[in-house]
Chains A and B, each alone.
Chain A
Amino acid sequence: MKSMNITINGRQTTAHEGEMIIDMAKRIGIHIPHLCLDDRLERIGACRLCVVELAGSPKPVASCTTPVREGMVINTHSPRILEARRINMELLLASHDLNCVTCDANRKCKLQRYAEELMVRDLRFEGDRIIRPVDNSSVSIKRDNNKCVLCERCIRVCNDIQTVHAIGLAGRGFNTRIEPPFGQNMKESACVNCGQCVISCPTAALCEHSDIQNVINALNSGKYLIAQTAPSIRATLGECFEMQPGKAVTGKMVTALKQIGFRQVFDTDLGADITIIEEATEFIKRMKEKRSLPMITTCCPAWIKFGEQFFFDELHHMSSCRSPQAIIASLVRTYFAKKIRVKPEDIILVDIMPCTAKKFEIQRPEFMGEADFVLTTVELSKLLKQLDVDFIHLPDTEFDTPLGESTGAGVIFGRTGGVMEAALRTVADWSGIKDFTKLDFKPIHGMRTMKTADIDLKGTKVKVCVVHTLGEARKLMEEIRAGKSPYHFIEIMACYGGCVGGGGQPRGSSSVLEKRAHALNEADSHKKIRLSHKNPSALKIYKEYLGDFGGEKAHRLLHTKYSRREVL
């Protein structure tokens, strides 16, 4: 790759041919403000905040879409450029809902950050503002177009990466807005609730539908409060309290929940272990009977809604097993309620989940009445802050029994490839391979969105595929529809990175997602038991209550069904 000499802000440096100015600047530590730029998305050059001065050019240029050239002399923060960015901000603010103090994105909003950085003091261009109604129809995602800056990141994520096409542009010029088509609201739209749009939105135009007040009311209701925490929460909650990414904060998380009033804190990872027991049983059965292969995992409710909407005829490939959260929820209402002799209706179960889609999942008719509320990681952190919990100084506490013990296989559910690896460990063990560490799972590790591996199980070759983002899921499903899929077992996660990158998580770059995955892997390697079907608590539940693996009672309590959904 050709190397070029350029001068930027008075510094001499080298750049690669084909590099855009903003990327080169970032590489050497110069941060240029931007709103519409996102590394994973096609660049549209719309916000114009990233403009820079070029010697010899009468006008500024957008650094996100201007490639470097030999001898370029660039100034990224000249007085003229700063004034241009300031005017740009004033224009955005003139069309914006400026009630920051009561806004969901207060202190996290990119407009606030740039307004401060650029010292915006005087709004010189006030005029008409189009007031649009807030869309609260969805249980997962709230849309407020009065806070939209038309950076179009949500559209590019929903259409290009997720291929859901729930929202798009409408109108033109000053009247442009982002919404579902044909006058639909979010609930009626094709939205699968993955929340990837939420974590790409620089303001509060898109945010999670909040259940914090519901949980506060629950904590004060006098009822029996139980919480369960998903595998990936322990790897991300710390970042909400300015801890470095890559450190699991499991013990503090449990302590925090107990401190604010939860009587029991259970581990969804146990549900994950049970999921593996059921799914592995199911998989082996399908392999023997050579039917409905490839089998597809079903922990991800966004993927499930996606499948129900666009690929219903192929849904017999999905495992019928519930997601880990739903398994724990089911057991709490039945098995656990009986054990502690509390009426099921006197229990309030709150799920701490990485995603906004779980808010939709718990309201499915099949799961009604089991979990009461879902709080995302971000919501939990807001609740803890409101209740003045000094998170980073908390001691560690263990999860409660009987639904708190988990294996290393359960923990890795939170990252892409985790469910597949957990399932294959059990399948391998049941096939006679006693040391799963001999199997090579590296091909399904990492952030590539489509990963495949061939696993040799004592003569049987199992072709597996792990994908994340729904765009990749769509490709796989089209292949299955055409009858051309070469796989036996498929893991689908809707969110980039898996649950560590969920719509309810704090935002993080690709490298932060990798660090979170690493935290989960580390937790796994420190566990004594790393095979789901060897989880003593799980085995006890089967013995005392569920019966056989994949048996009749297990099916009734731990499996579910899917329905066709008509959307555009």
Chain B
Amino acid sequence: MITDKEIEQALNQLQGDRITVGLATCGISAGAMPVFHALKNADIGLVEEVGCIGMCYNEPIVTVVKDKRRFIYGGVTESNVHRLISALKQGNVCEDLLVAKDISDLDFYHGQKRLVMGNCGLINPLKLDQYVAKGGYLALLRAISMEKQKVIDEMIASGLRGRGGAGFLTGKKWSFIASKKGKKYLIANGDEGDPGAFMNRTLMESDPFKIIEGMTIGAYATGCDEGFIYTRAEYPLAIDTLQKAISIAYKHNLLGKNILGSGFDFELSVRKGAGAFVCGEETALMHSIEGRRGSPSPRPPYPADHGIYGYPTNVNNVGTWGHVTVVFTLGASEFRKLGTKESPGTKELCLAGMVKRPGIVEVPLGTPLRKIVYDIGGGTSDGTKLKAVLTGGPAGGCIPEYLLDTPLDFETLKSLGSIMGSGGMIVVSEKSCIVDVARYYMHFTQEESCGKCTPCREGTKRLLEMLEHITSGKADKSTLDKLKMLSSFVIDNSLCGLGQNAPNPILSTLKYFENEYLEHIEKKKCPAGICDKLVTYLITGKCIGCGACARACPVQAISGNPKEKHFIDQSKCIKCGTCYAVCPVKAIIK
């Protein structure tokens, strides 16, 4: 274990003067690595890598802690880091890159309650002493001093619900497997297949010990002796970070045999997925861990009875495991004070889309969506009116603007026709076509269907075709009825959660935006101008007669003399949009 002296040193380091650079995937993809190297080589003090602080809209982010104050710089790139370095060398603040003189100054963080993401972006993810200095592993110490059943009781009392989307009571799930004898497996689902959701990835890259600690508590309580963190292959940094953190934990007797002298063993390793959204479903996930096709199996039998290699297995989302640590750090009654009665605690969300301040946020459950989108997110990024907020990814639905006071909790979202899902929250403005959103999600789900059961394999294909007809002007009055009927059929009859939820975006968008569908079907028009086949391209007076469009047009629909306004023959136009793309003076409008 870590010595008290080491903890003290780490605490001093965390509170003392230092410079940190966000090097999670979002930071790296924004160009943070050369910034990190430049700062390190500049010899201006302790420079350390940290994970993601959640403010993705400002990446790459450099935090300078000086005299206990935390200056946040954003958008620091290879080309401007020298300005920051010279300012710091002179003991000044670099104004043009400064985002905030303190985190509390930022609207983005007001209203957030960062518990599970609390360490992200503040500590070096692979420094165990820093994790412990910030209160890490106190939860595990407390748990292993209790009787196993009492640990489960406390988890039930906390009311924590799964953060992966289904929202099942975590404590209840544990009690199913706790009574089984013999070998048992514990799984962390880090597949995070929703396109546009990366909360799990952020946690795995920025605070892996929070997950490991939670799993160890769960292993102790349920009697599981082996576990896997299953994460998608598309997360190489998360995989690497987890593997390193696990080996550090082993070195310090926090994993392996006789953990902290308590007498219980827990072996943990990482398993990589190979690219299949359906492997987020727990039976498919277990098949994937076994090295088989990721097709779900009927339940019963449930994983607690018959899971990996036939042994009882408990699957919880990576985010849930993080919250387990939070529950046992705060204690169940403190935890219950946050959130709502039915949905206690906080939820980490990925706020993205047409929003000014996209990033990873964490709020108490029950927070109104309006607060998240406007107060924290800053409202729409293009200044246009907000149309809807999409929750739950491809399994979810939309909440229209007039319902934005809806609190964020499992039941309310479900009653409105959406779901909580894993926490992806996409802001959609008037500039987006809501029918295109439904089509986009169905295209995704249809491609990811495993193909085993008829309703999903065939149904999602036909639903997609209908949506494509609608967005290309080929639909008629009967299409909407067929869409609704087939959606209900697929929801009711599919084998697993993928099929059972795939039509949700359709029914949800139809519920609130049927008029938009009707415009596409009856008037063959896309009000937002997004659906390519339903737009009309027009050359305006801005045209300089360069002829680029006419040359580019694949069907020679454009004519005109040099230096004169050109014209598009609408009867020939196939609405491919090439002219729109190549016009050097943006003279063509949709």
- Collect the chain B residues with CB atoms within 8 Å of residue A59's CB: 491-493, 500
| Total count of chain B residues near the partner, CB < 8 A | 32
What 1/0 flags go to B444-472 for Cβ under 8 Å of A? Answer: 00111111111101111110010000000
Contact of A47 among B276, B448, B454, B489 (CB under 8 A): B454
- Collect the chain B residues with CB atoms within 8 Å of residue A531's CB: none
- Collect the chain A residues with CB atoms within 8 Å of residue B485's CB: 87
Q: Is B300 an interface residue (CB 8 A)?
A: yes
What 1/0 flags go to B120-153 for Cβ under 8 Å of A? Answer: 0000000000000000000000000000000000
Q: How far is the CA of A65 from the CA of B495 in the complex (A)?
A: 11
Q: How far is the CA of A172 from the CA of B293 in the complex (A)?
A: 9
A172 pairs with B298, CB closer than 8 A? no
What 1/0 flags go to B412-441 for Cβ under 8 Å of A? Answer: 000000000000000000000000000000
Whose C-beta in chain A lies nearest to the C-beta of B447?
Answer: A173
Contact of B458 among A60, A84, A94, A124 (CB under 8 A): A94
A88 pairs with B457, CB closer than 8 A? no
Contact of A84 among B300, B465, B493 (CB under 8 A): B493
- Collect the chain B residues with CB atoms within 8 Å of residue A176's CB: 451-452, 457
14 new A-B contacts at CB < 8 Å, known A149-B454, A150-B454, A174-B461 = A47-B453, A59-B493, A60-B492, A66-B300, A87-B485, A87-B486, A88-B455, A125-B482, A127-B462, A150-B457, A172-B276, A173-B448, A173-B457, A174-B460
Name B300-328 residues within 8 Å CB distance of A: 300
Whose C-beta in chain A lies nearest to the C-beta of B449?
Answer: A173
* Most A Cβ at <10 Å: residue of B276, B452, B492: B452
Q: Is B494 an interface residue (CB 8 A)?
A: yes
A173 pairs with B446, CB closer than 8 A? yes
Name A161-198 residues within 8 Å CB distance of B: 169, 171-176
Q: A60-B492, A60-B493, A173-B447 are in contact. Are A128 and B461 (CB under 8 A)?
A: yes
Q: Is A46 an interface residue (CB 8 A)?
A: yes
5 A-B contacts, Cβ less than 8 Å apart?
A51-B493, A60-B492, A92-B454, A125-B482, A173-B451
Name A442-457 residues within 8 Å CB distance of B: none
Q: Is A337 an interface residue (CB 8 A)?
A: no
- Collect the chain A residues with CB atoms within 8 Å of residue B459's CB: 91
B461 pairs with A88, CB closer than 8 A? no
Contact of B454 among A46, A128, A175 (CB under 8 A): A46
- Collect the chain B residues with CB atoms within 8 Å of residue A175's CB: 451
A174 pairs with B446, CB closer than 8 A? yes
Q: How far is the CA of A14 from the CA of B520 in the complex (A)?
A: 54
- Collect the chain A residues with CB atoms within 8 Å of residue B293's CB: 169
Q: Is A67 an interface residue (CB 8 A)?
A: yes
- Cβ of A110 to closest chain B Cβ, rounded Å: 13
Contact of A172 among B300, B451, B458 (CB under 8 A): B451
Name A69-88 residues within 8 Å CB distance of B: 84, 87-88
Q: Is A543 an interface residue (CB 8 A)?
A: no
Q: Is A95 an interface residue (CB 8 A)?
A: yes
Q: A45-B495, A65-B300, A84-B492 are in contact. Are A91 and B458 (CB under 8 A)?
A: yes
- Collect the chain B residues with CB atoms within 8 Å of residue A173's CB: 446-451, 457
Q: Is A295 an interface residue (CB 8 A)?
A: no
- Cβ of B301 to closest chain A Cβ, rounded Å: 9
- Collect the chain B residues with CB atoms within 8 Å of residue A174's CB: 446, 449, 451, 457-458, 460-461
Whose C-beta in chain B lies nearest to the C-beta of A175?
Answer: B451
* Most A Cβ at <10 Å: residue of B454, B486, B493, B494: B454
B298 pairs with A43, CB closer than 8 A? yes
- Collect the chain B residues with CB atoms within 8 Å of residue A171's CB: 451
Q: How far is the CA of A306 from the CA of B547 in the complex (A)?
A: 70
Q: How far is the CA of A171 from the CA of B450 in the complex (A)?
A: 9
- Collect the chain B residues with CB atoms within 8 Å of residue A60's CB: 492-493
B455 pairs with A44, CB closer than 8 A? no
B493 pairs with A88, CB closer than 8 A? yes
- Cβ of A11 to closest chain B Cβ, rounded Å: 25
Q: Is A147 an interface residue (CB 8 A)?
A: no
Q: Is A62 an interface residue (CB 8 A)?
A: yes
Q: How far is the CA of A47 from the CA of B453 in the complex (A)?
A: 6
Q: Is A359 an interface residue (CB 8 A)?
A: no
- Collect the chain A residues with CB atoms within 8 Å of residue B493's CB: 48, 51, 59-60, 84, 88
B452 pairs with A46, CB closer than 8 A? yes
B451 pairs with A150, CB closer than 8 A? yes
Q: A44-B298, A65-B298, A84-B493 are in contact. Are A124 and B482 (CB under 8 A)?
A: yes
Contact of A46 among B447, B453, B491 (CB under 8 A): B453
Q: How far is the CA of A418 from the CA of B507 in the complex (A)?
A: 62
- Collect the chain A residues with CB atoms within 8 Å of residue B489's CB: 84, 87-88
Whose C-beta in chain A lies nearest to the C-beta of B482?
Answer: A124
A45 pairs with B298, CB closer than 8 A? yes
- Cβ of A97 to closest chain B Cβ, rounded Å: 15
B462 pairs with A94, CB closer than 8 A? yes
- Collect the chain A residues with CB atoms within 8 Å of residue B446's CB: 173-174
A48 pairs with B455, CB closer than 8 A? yes
Whose C-beta in chain B lies nearest to the C-beta of A85?
Answer: B493
- Collect the chain A residues with CB atoms within 8 Å of residue B447's CB: 173
Q: How far is the CA of A171 from the CA of B449 in the complex (A)?
A: 11
- Cβ of A267 to closest chain B Cβ, rounded Å: 47
Q: How far is the CA of A91 from the CA of B489 in the complex (A)?
A: 11
Q: How far is the CA of A171 from the CA of B460 in the complex (A)?
A: 16
Q: How far is the CA of A556 from the CA of B494 in the complex (A)?
A: 61
- Cβ of B89 to closest chain A Cβ, rounded Å: 56
Q: A44-B298, A127-B465 are in contact. Are A91 and B451 (CB under 8 A)?
A: no
B486 pairs with A172, CB closer than 8 A? no
- Collect the chain A residues with CB atoms within 8 Å of residue B460's CB: 174
B453 pairs with A125, CB closer than 8 A? no
Contact of B300 among A67, A94, A125 (CB under 8 A): A67
Whose C-beta in chain B lies nearest to the C-beta of A47?
Answer: B454
Contact of B453 among A43, A45, A124, A127 (CB under 8 A): A45
- Cβ of B290 to closest chain A Cβ, rounded Å: 15
- Collect the chain A residues with CB atoms within 8 Å of residue B297's CB: 44-45
- Collect the chain A residues with CB atoms within 8 Å of residue B452's CB: 44, 46, 150, 176
Q: How far is the CA of A125 from the CA of B469 in the complex (A)?
A: 12
Which 3 residue pairs across A and B have the least CB separation, nearest first?
A: A176-B451, A45-B298, A91-B458
- Collect the chain A residues with CB atoms within 8 Å of residue B451's CB: 150, 171-176
- Collect the chain A residues with CB atoms within 8 Å of residue B300's CB: 65-67
- Cβ of B463 to closest chain A Cβ, rounded Å: 9
Q: How far is the CA of A43 from the CA of B299 in the complex (A)?
A: 11
Q: How far is the CA of A173 from the CA of B500 in the complex (A)?
A: 15
Name A536-551 residues within 8 Å CB distance of B: none
What 1/0 flags go to B284-302 for Cβ under 8 Å of A? Answer: 0000000001000110100
- Cβ of B216 to closest chain A Cβ, rounded Å: 35
Contact of A48 among B465, B486, B495 (CB under 8 A): B495
- Cβ of A191 to closest chain B Cβ, rounded Å: 21
Whose C-beta in chain A lies nearest to the C-beta of B491?
Answer: A59
A91 pairs with B298, CB closer than 8 A? no
Q: A84-B489, A127-B461, A173-B449 are in contact. Are A48 and B298 (CB under 8 A)?
A: no
- Cβ of A148 to closest chain B Cβ, rounded Å: 12
What 1/0 flags go to A27-71 for Cβ under 8 Å of B? Answer: 000000000000000011111110100000001101001110000
A172 pairs with B450, CB closer than 8 A? yes
- Collect the chain B residues with CB atoms within 8 Å of residue A48's CB: 453-455, 493-495
- Cβ of A231 to closest chain B Cβ, rounded Å: 41
